[in-house]
Structure 1
Amino acid sequence: MTIAPARLLALTLCAGLAACAHNRQPCPPPAPGTAGAGGLPDWHDAITDPDHVRLRDWRKAFVTGLDQARGDGHGAEIDAQGRLLDPDTAMDGATLPVGFYRCRVIKLGSRDAGRLTYIAYPEHRCEVRPSDSLTRLIELDGLQRPSGRLYPDGPSRTVFLGTMILGDEQKPITYGRDVDRDMVGAVQRIGEHQWRMLIPDPAWESKIDVMELVPEG
């Protein structure tokens, strides 16, 4: 039986990702030019209209959140984070390797008056694992745990589409079913072994959530 080239590429990618996940070691990202190749899913076909607007306006949400936090006296805390909280620091190599990560979230700005405009949460453990022909990012600890698929979108950005797992829930609801649970993120590489995911205008609390991801080990 002859396997179509597109199907063969997808199978090869899946096999490589599965091997990395089994060994619990980060794998190198796909070679440049593979994003969207071989019939891989395209985030444009999956994203909801509200999330498309949020993703488009991510930088506006980032700047607004920073301005609100600085206005409330958090300038020193922001500056101490360096590249993590610099809107214009993305590098090529946005694809998150399969493996386990130390991840932490900083919430910037507030959707409502009177709320805190800078909140830094402790580290949690996250994992990037194979998911069909793509990969999935899931936070493994905490009361609010993002879980979603990662879509290639060029060398300097990966698009995250997922939902929030709450409390003792065991699995995520399907993306697109509940606007209050849906999440969209822009994953960027900001250092040799450092990535971040920007979650603009989340349903609750902040103007933007910034998740730092650093590989374990």
Structure 2
Amino acid sequence: MWGRTSIIGGILAASTLAACNTVPKIPPSVADVPPPATEGGWRSTATEQDKGRVRNWYSSWEAALADARAKGFGAQIDREGILLHPTAALPNPHLPAGDYKCRTIKVGAKSGGTLGYIAYGWFRCRVAAEQGISSLVKLTGSQRPVGLIFPDNLTRQVFLGTLELGDEKMAVNYGSDRMRDMAGLVERIGDNRWRLVLPAPAYESLVDVIELVPES
């Protein structure tokens, strides 16, 4: 397991195999064309499972929203506006270092016994500089993503990390437990407003969306 201060070492040591995957062509966007693979980029670090999560981000969104609406949560989705709009990402996705308020919305259900939409209250997250990239840690709550943010294209960065649960004090190494590994898109959706979109998480939902706004 790694402590939060050793996030970068755990993830960057997880994989050294480079891969260049195409992203979905729906919706068409020049931003979705992946840049050439570079050493140390997210594609040379991500597991095959997580490359698939990023590659299939749009289909995950479609399935999640369709499931939630079919179960009667259309009004809640509409009330959130651009936060739950799949193509709301704006240019310049860089998430500055600092402390953030963050809240999670789980959209769609993996099984019939799970609600199609769950919105949680505000918790605390932190972004910090880590040797040329950034780390993102959810500090409070029972499910806490811990990982790194990698550059990708004009409208998104890519998050790779693991899930810390309950009263755990350390996160497992990235790539060592496929049920804990996470991959997502960091996107800016307004002035001082970002989201981390986690398609196809291992538990409960079809998409998790974490809204981030700087602590005032």
Note if 1:68 corresponds to 2:67: yes
Q: Which protein is bigger by CA-based radius of gyration?
A: 1
1:171, CA displacement in angstroms?
A: 1.9
After TM superposition, the score normalised by the length of structure 1 is 0.80
1:211, CA displacement in angstroms?
A: 0.6
**Greater fraction of residues in helix:** 1
Contact conserved, 1:127 with 1:137, CA < 8 A, in 2? Answer: yes
Q: What is the number of residues matched between the two proteins?
A: 180
**Greater fraction of residues in strand:** 2
Q: 2 CA distance for matches of 1:113 and 1:66?
A: 15
Runs of 4+ in 1 over 4 A off after TM superposition: none
Which residue does 1:91 correspond to in 2? 90
Gaps of 5+ in 1: 1-35
Which residue does 1:140 correspond to in 2? 139
1:91, CA displacement in angstroms?
A: 0.4
1:166, CA displacement in angstroms?
A: 1.0
1:64-112 Cα offsets, whole Å, 9 max, x none, are 1111111111111101001000111110111100001110000001111
Which residue does 1:125 correspond to in 2? 124
Which residue does 2:81 correspond to in 1? 82
Which residue does 1:212 correspond to in 2? 211
Amino acid paired to 2:126:
E
Q: 2 CA distance for matches of 1:120 and 1:150?
A: 24
1:132, CA displacement in angstroms?
A: 2.2
Q: 1 CA distance for matches of 2:105 and 2:132?
A: 30
Which residue does 1:112 correspond to in 2? 111
Contact conserved, 1:163 with 1:172, CA < 8 A, in 2? Answer: yes
Contact conserved, 1:161 with 1:185, CA < 8 A, in 2? Answer: yes
Find the residue that maps to 2:125 and give its secondary structure.
strand
Taking only aligned residues, the RMSD between alpha carbons, in angstroms, comes to 1.3
Find the residue that maps to 1:121 and give its secondary structure.
strand
Note if 1:41 corresponds to 2:40: yes
Amino acid paired to 1:111:
K
After TM superposition, the score normalised by the length of structure 2 is 0.81
Find the residue that maps to 1:207 and give its secondary structure.
strand
1:55, CA displacement in angstroms?
A: 0.8
Which residue does 1:21 correspond to in 2? none
Which residue does 2:197 correspond to in 1? 198
